[in-house]
Chain A
Amino acid sequence: MNTNNTSLVQNLLEPGITISSSKEYTDSDIIIINGVYKVPFTEDSIPKQQILIPKQIVLAVTRNANYKALKPFSDVVVFKDDVHDDGKYSSGKFTINVFDYVEFNGAGDYYVLCSLGKYLSNIINVTIE
């Protein structure tokens, strides 16, 4: 999981948010999404207070007729060490077990999308059999 995060951070050259899933952590009870973000402080859709930024991450999940969209970290305490500030951008990492936040599970094709402000992540497709 740490290796995935490191490669994601290194690859995030442009502002945005990127997610990936770990197949070894995917089964009927668990879909783990690893994500990284890097957003400019000057962007209107991003909170100016850095520790508020992770709270604005949105998770959107669909599977056939089921869907759920929420801010999974809205009630999570964020510490200063959880975010990185290089003066121009705020960046950080996150991990989500999708089934901790959606009421539906089981077999099917899941599509997972994250967003942060105006930035949309790539879409992850996970098939659970």
Chain B
Amino acid sequence: MKNVFIKLILLYFMGYTAMSDAETKDYTLPENCNVNIHFKGVNVPNVCSPVINDDETFIGIVINGPGEIIWPETEKPQEASPFGSTKGPVRLLIAAEFIFPASYRDPKRRVKNEILFVAVNLATKDVYSGRQPAFGKQRKRKKSDIGDYDPTKDSDKRAEGSINPDLVNICGLPNKNATYIIYATLENFKSNVLMISTVSKEVDLEH
């Protein structure tokens, strides 16, 4: 609870109180929060990141994103950088927080690259899915992507982390008007569900 209190104080000074929240007993989602604007890095928590209310008992994954995002209809998605970040107006960034069992800290695993994100177009038969790929040195790392795990010492130390994937980049979402149901899953875990609308229209980028 102390950690949650500290996180809430930090978020307050970051402008968090300007947004209302969706809260369950397990987590709080900053609402009407555009991750594209507050993005700090693929693996860095931001103002839009879900707050897990009891991080000592919660286990699973929680995602957050905007209710609607507007894209310039003439713009195309840009390729990701060597570190996995994307730029440009045509992005749909999701903020995800996860806590998995300690066994997920296995040095052989890349948990952040195993989480599957699914985007379901509600009006058509299209389903988009993808995972955040490992980039550069991550592919050759001998340690797990969320810290070392020593089963003799860390049996109670669970695997926690943040990931902010761009669903346009990893799932191939097109620059079109659509409404998606979005969720994430990894093995026996599934996230909460978001409904996000993408609006593709003429936008004056210079003003």
Residues of A at under 8 Å CB distance from B? 44-45, 55-56, 58, 60, 62, 67-71, 74-75, 109, 111, 113, 115, 117-120, 123, 125
A111–B122 alpha-carbon span in the complex (Å) = 23
Contacts of B127 in A (CB 8 A): 58, 69-71
Confirm or deny: B144 has a beta carbon within 8 angstroms of a beta carbon on chain A.
no
Give 6 pairs: A residue, B residue, CB < 8 Å, sorted on A.
A60-B116, A60-B129, A109-B187, A115-B120, A115-B183, A115-B193
Residue of A71, A74, A75, A111 near B185 (CB, 8 A) is A111
| B contact face: mostly helix, strand, loop, or mixed | strand
Q: Which residue of A lies closest to B189 (CB)?
A: A123
| A contact face: mostly helix, strand, loop, or mixed | strand
B150-203 interface (Cβ within 8 A of A): 181, 183, 185-190, 193, 195
- CB atoms of B187 and A125 under 8 A apart: yes
CB distance from B100 to the nearest CB of A (A): 14
CB distance from A38 to the nearest CB of B (A): 17
Residues of B at under 8 Å CB distance from A? 116, 118, 120, 122, 125, 127-129, 131, 181, 183, 185-190, 193, 195
- CB atoms of B195 and A60 under 8 A apart: no
- CB atoms of A115 and B118 under 8 A apart: yes
Given A60-B129, A69-B129, also A120-B190 (CB < 8 A): yes
- CB atoms of B122 and A45 under 8 A apart: yes
- CB atoms of B125 and A75 under 8 A apart: yes
Given A55-B125, A70-B127, also A60-B185 (CB < 8 A): yes
CB distance from B196 to the nearest CB of A (A): 11
A32–B34 alpha-carbon span in the complex (Å) = 40
A125–B125 alpha-carbon span in the complex (Å) = 25
- CB atoms of A56 and B185 under 8 A apart: no
Given A45-B122, A118-B181, also A67-B187 (CB < 8 A): no
A45–B122 alpha-carbon span in the complex (Å) = 7
Given A44-B195, A70-B127, also A62-B116 (CB < 8 A): yes
CB distance from A69 to the nearest CB of B (A): 4
A56–B179 alpha-carbon span in the complex (Å) = 13
A118–B46 alpha-carbon span in the complex (Å) = 25
Contacts of A56 in B (CB 8 A): 120, 122
CB distance from A111 to the nearest CB of B (A): 5
- CB atoms of A117 and B188 under 8 A apart: no
